[in-house]
Chain A
Amino acid sequence: MSNGSQATTEIFENLKLELRRGCLTLAVLTQLRTERYGYTLRKALADDGLEIDEGTLYPLLRRLENQGLLVSQWREEDKRNKRFYRLSPVGEQILEQLLGEWQRINTSLSKILQEA
């Protein structure tokens, strides 16, 4: 691969990462309206077309929990200890606000793209 196209790919990957970052938080919070543990959450997101690796998901879950948006609990299921997550009451409020914001951004962006 030439240096030029390599640089373009790198720029694209970085921008994609930035674009995904906010969307992932929204997707994770939305999925955790129902209680899930890490692996099933990853699977649910992947089934909906949003793959996320372990190294990204678990620190994100921990951050959201520290911010008080999630609550978690270690529980035994199928003879194995698993950490289950779900939205906290504060998380539900914030998610509603975030979804409203997302709708506004989406509407604006659609309008801009139509005009272009």
Chain B
Amino acid sequence: MSTSSSRNPLELVDRYLQAVRFWLPKNRRQEDLLAELGEDLRSQIEEKQSELGHALSTDEISEILKRCGAPMLVASRLGPRRHLIGPTLFPVYEFVLKMVLLWILVPVFIFIVGPATLASTNGDWGKTVLVTLGNLWSGAFVAAGIITLVFAILERTHAIADINCKWDPSSLPPLQKPERKTSFVQTICELAFNVFGLVWLLLVPNHPFLILGPATAFLKLGPIWHTFYVPIVLLTVAVIVRLAVALARSQWTAFPLWSQLLQTAVSLILVHYMIQAAGHTVQGDWHPFVTIADGVRSSEQYVRYTTIAAVVNVSLLIGLVGTWLGVCIGGAVQTWELLKHIRKNRSVSQQPASVQLR
């Protein structure tokens, strides 16, 4: 099958060289290399002609060019080695990119930008998720672009080249302590503490003194307590079950990590709804956590009791917001621990048996 309409089959070589030239940087060195490649191809054609005893057809020349390779590939081999970020800098680039995107940008969007957007959209969750994800995508794109640009500049300027000279073994970080498993005693203590907490919780409705102390004389538990009492009791029971399973099945190394993360997620949802419920004011009467006992409403000290109730309510709300933040941070740490565990397990399962035995 003829592949060319040209009358001179050797023109195919010039066309081939032209195509290779297109992919090469325009400088004298590359022109020199091209001239040598052209000479090499012509020598091959010449030798084939003397072997066959006739001038080569377009198809026969095509065969020689095909053997040489596609123009773009040949240019990539002839041209200088080019990369935006070289092998020396690439591991650092990858590390920085992961750190910024996964451990800075994502938590910032989940724990700061997300709640701020939720507030600005008046609690519209659907809109908040869409807006936050959209902003996260643009933020990640811009951050990745800036990091790549900075590393490309470092690569070009060889700013990292003198690191090897300045490197000092004494500046190496200390050995990491081996991963410490949660001790048996610690789990027992946690279990005992939670059982005690559950008993306390179950007694509180009939003995409010256990939570309000002497203030029971003029304060009583507010509406939030009644709304969230059952979920709090259920969560405490779930924690006790989790700790009991962790004790009974100590060989399940991943169980404490993911079950604790699940518990944190449920706690986060619960605390979130408690804060939201505390924000609602019924006819200007804001007593979400504690309210004035019925028996002292006509007392002379009513104003003083109202002030105390307000202080307690505000303090509890601040405490609840603090708890929400703490649980968020705890959740981030637990996620990190779980990911570390998964990665470690994967790398162990991929290692050859001889290495695992060490």
Contact = CB atoms under 8 A, between A and B. Distances in A.
A56 B77 contact: yes
B156 interface: no
A55 B35 CA distance: 13
Interface residues of B, number: 19
Given A55-B69, A62-B29, A83 B36 contact: yes
Contact of B39 (A38, A53, A56): A38
A39 B43 contact: yes
B39 A37 contact: yes
B61 to A, nearest CB: 15
A53 B64 CA distance: 12
B33 A59 contact: yes
A116 B166 CA distance: 43
Contacts of A16: none
B161 interface: no
A38 B33 CA distance: 11
Contacts, number: 46
B68 A53 contact: yes
A58 B69 contact: no
B97 interface: no
Nearest to B41: A54
A55 B39 contact: no
Contacts of A40: 43
Contact of B37 (A58, A80, A82): A58
Contact of B78 (A37, A59, A81): A59
A115 to B, nearest CB: 21
B77 A59 contact: yes
Given A39-B40, A58-B33, 17 more contacts: A37-B39, A38-B36, A39-B43, A39-B44, A53-B68, A53-B77, A54-B40, A54-B41, A54-B68, A55-B74, A58-B36, A58-B78, A62-B33, A80-B39, A80-B42, A81-B35, A81-B39
A82 B42 CA distance: 11
A37 B76 CA distance: 22
Nearest to A59: B78
Contacts of A83: 32, 35-36, 39
Interface in A11-64: 37-40, 42, 53-56, 58-59, 62
Contacts of B41: 54
Contacts of A58: 33, 36-37, 40, 78
Interface of A: 37-40, 42, 53-56, 58-59, 62, 80-83
B39 A39 contact: yes
B73 interface: yes
Interface string B32-75: 11011101111110000000000000000000000011000110
A53 B67 CA distance: 9
18 contacts: A37-B39, A39-B44, A40-B43, A42-B40, A53-B68, A54-B41, A54-B74, A55-B73, A55-B77, A58-B33, A58-B36, A58-B78, A59-B33, A59-B77, A80-B39, A80-B42, A82-B39, A83-B36
Contacts of A56: 77
B36 A55 contact: no
Contacts of B39: 37-39, 80-83
Contacts of B76: 55
B36 A53 contact: no
B34 to A, nearest CB: 9
Contacts of B32: 62, 83
In order of increasing CB-CB distance, the 7 nearest A-B pairs are A55-B77, A39-B43, A39-B40, A55-B74, A38-B36, A38-B40, A58-B36
